[in-house]
Amino acid sequence: MKCPFCSSFDTHVLDSRVTDTGDAVRRRRRCAACDKRFTTYETAELRLPQIVKTNASREEFSPEKLREGFRRALHKRPVPTEYVDQEINQIVQHVLALGEREIPARQVGEMVMHALKRLDKIAYIRFASVYKSFQDVDDFRDVLRDLDKTEK
């Protein structure tokens, strides 16, 4: 670790402790060259995978883009923000747990559809109509029939 005071690389760890939240390690260090002390924090860096779109282009996974999709589907629906945040966190955790460098956009879309189905049936139908590119009323009927089957 480079000393922030004199830029020497000859530093020593004096003490290491886990932070109160448990998600970082706090290290007290001393520079052998200038004898100054400083603190560093070590945290895990989680890298979300790239999303492979249907046209084979790639983009970074974005929880903000997920949030926007939920927001549009749930527009004027009585669903608390906390529930939406929980669903987004579950999707992000699931994507991280997959451990893949790339995942298809379709897979993320299916996760969003399952979450919306649990949260609000109207939002689910809104999202499905755009996601599955409904062409006519029969497409809506099919989704409504599937919803009826799962509720019984």
pLDDT tens-digit map of 110-144: 999 999 999 998 998 888 887 777 777 777 777 77
State how far the Cα of 83 lies from the Cα of 79, in Å rounded to an integer.
7
| Whole-angstrom distance, CA of residue 151 vs CA of residue 137 | 21
Strand partners, 102: 50
Answer left, alpha or beta for residue 90, where phi above 0 means left and psi between -120 and 50 means alpha: alpha
Per-residue pLDDT of 24-58, as tens digits, reads 999 999 999 999 999 999 988 778 899 999 899 99
Indicate whether 6 pLDDT > 70: yes
Residue 65's pLDDT band, with cuts at 50, 70 and 90, is very high
Average pLDDT of the chain is 90
Distance in angstroms (rounded) separating the CA atoms of residues 144 and 10: 67
